[in-house]
Amino acid sequence: MDLTAYERRLDRPTRVKLPEFQTNGRLKHVIFADQFDRPMLENFNNLSNIVRELARDRETQLFLHNLLPQKRAMLYFSQASTRTFLSFTAACQLLGMSIAEIRDPSVSSEYKGESPFDSMRMFSSYSDLVVMRTPSAGFAEACAYLMNDLDKFNERTVPIVNGGSGADEHPTQALLDVHTIQRSFEFKSERDSSRWAQFDEYRKMYPDLTRGPDSKVYGFCGDIRRGRTVHSLASLLANFSDVTMYFVSPPDLGLPVALRESLLGKGVKVFEHDTLNDIVQNVDLLYMTRIQWEHDKDTAKGSGPAPVNADFILTPELADRMKSYARIMHPFPRNAEIPPEVDHNPRAMYFPQARNGMWVRAALLAHLFDVDGLIVSHHRDVFSEYHNYNTASS
C-alpha cells in the first residue's frame, strides 16, 4: 500500500501525533492504544459497566437501542477477524446503529485500480463512522489524517476507528483488556446481594490486597515478541502505580528491548522467565497468548500450529496453584496453551473478556457520537432509587 503522501506525518513520534486525534479532550479518531490515558481508561471502564447494566432489561435495552437509529457505521475489514468484527457489529446494534460491511477485499473497487484513499472517501460518503481492519500498518492512521485534511477544507469527515492494523496497533483490544482487569479487580460478584462480600473474603487470606489495577503483579506468557496485544496492554498498565510484570516466553520470542526500556522508564518492575511454572503462584493476573506460528518462515502456509512447549501451557494443575482471586485472560484465538479443562476454573476470565469487547466498543461508539452523557444520566435516573437504598444500607 502506497502511503507516501502521509509518510512525513506517519514518521513522527506518537506523542506529537496524539493531539490530532482529539478535540477538547474527547476522541475524534481512535488509532493508537496510547490515546487512552488513565482518566480516559477510568471513564471508559465506568461507561462500559453502565452500558452492560442498561443492556440487562428490555426497558433499558430499548433506551440504548433508540440512541443512534439514524447513524450508519461502515465496517471495513480487508483482513479477517471474526471476533473483532462481530463485537463491533453487536456494539453498533446495541445502540441501534445501521451497519454496512466490506469483509472480502476482492469485492472492492480496488481491482479497477482505485486508490485506497478514494475507497476510504467513498466509505465515509455513505456512513457516519468507519471501523477499519487492514493488514497494513499505518493505513488507519493515514485515513485519520485524510479526514482531518477534509475537515480543514470544510468537506465531509467521519471518525476513523482502528480495528487492528497489521502487527501495528489494535487499540480497542487494549481497551477491552484493561476494562476486564479493572472490572476483575473490583472484586464484585455478579450474583452477590451484598457488594462487598467477595473482596472481604479474599482479604482474609491476602490482607494486602487492594482494589483496582494499581499494586498488582501481571504475568504475560507466550509470544511476547510478536504479541501486539501484549505490547499495548503492558504499555497501558504502566499508567497505573506500583506495577510488576513477568514475561514468560521461548528464548527467541522474548520482550523487545524498546518495550522493556519504555516500561522501566515508567517505573514498572520487569522480570523475564522461561517457564510458567516459575510465576503462576505469584501473579494477580495471567495474560496468556498463543504462539503466532503463521508468521514463522519455516512453517508451511496452512500447516497449522506447531505443538506448544509445555513451559508455556497453563495446565489445570498450574491454574489451581494460582492465588484464589487471580484471573486468567487470553485475547483469542487460542491453540493448545490453555486446555479446555481450565475453562470452568473460576479464575478463567477469557470468555467474559471476549464479551467485554462488545460493551467497551459500545461505550467507545457512544463517546464518539457524543451520547455518553445521555447514557450516564439515564443510568443515574433508573438506578438512583436502588443506589440510594444501597448507600443507606451499606
Cross-strand bridge partners of residue 217: 244
Cα(245)–Cα(283) distance, rounded to whole angstroms? 9
Cite the DSSP H helix spans in 257-371: 257-265, 316-320, 350-368
Residue closer to its own copies, measured from CB, 58 or 297: 58
State how far the alpha carbon of 6 is from the alpha carbons of 11, 124, 140, 157, in Å: 9, 19, 11, 17
Cell digits for 272?
523475564
- Per-residue x/- track, 182-221, its own copies (CB under 8 A): ---------x------------------------------
- Per-residue x/- track, 34-63, its own copies (CB under 8 A): ------------------------x--xx-
Q: Which stretch binds its own copies (CB under 8 A): 35-43, 94-102, 136-144, 175-183?
A: 94-102
Cα(156)–Cα(148) distance, rounded to whole angstroms? 10
State the amino acid at position 106 in one-letter form: S
Residue closer to its own copies, measured from CB, 14 or 82: 82
Residue closer to its own copies, measured from CB, 152 or 204: 152
Cell digits for 41?
481508561
* Count of residues of this chain found to bind its own copies when the rule CB under 8 A is applied: 63
Q: Pick from 330, 307, 312: which is nearest to 275 by CA? A: 312
DSSP 300: P
Q: How far is the CB of 156 from its own copies (least distance, A)?
A: 7
Instruction: Tell me: does residue 74 bind its own copies (CB under 8 A).
Output: yes
Instruction: Tell me: does residue 108 bind its own copies (CB under 8 A).
Output: yes
Instruction: Tell me: does residue 87 bind its own copies (CB under 8 A).
Output: yes
State how far the alpha carbon of 211 is from the alpha carbons of 166, 182, 312, 356, in Å: 35, 9, 29, 19
Contact call for residues 20 and 144 (beta carbons, < 8 A): yes
Q: How far is the CB of 38 from its own copies (least distance, A)?
A: 28
List residues near its own copies by CB under 8 A: 5, 58, 61-62, 65, 69-70, 72, 74, 80-83, 86-87, 89-90, 93, 96, 98, 100, 102-104, 106-109, 111-115, 117-119, 121-123, 125-127, 153-156, 191, 290, 293-294, 302, 304-305, 332-335, 340, 344, 351, 354-355, 358
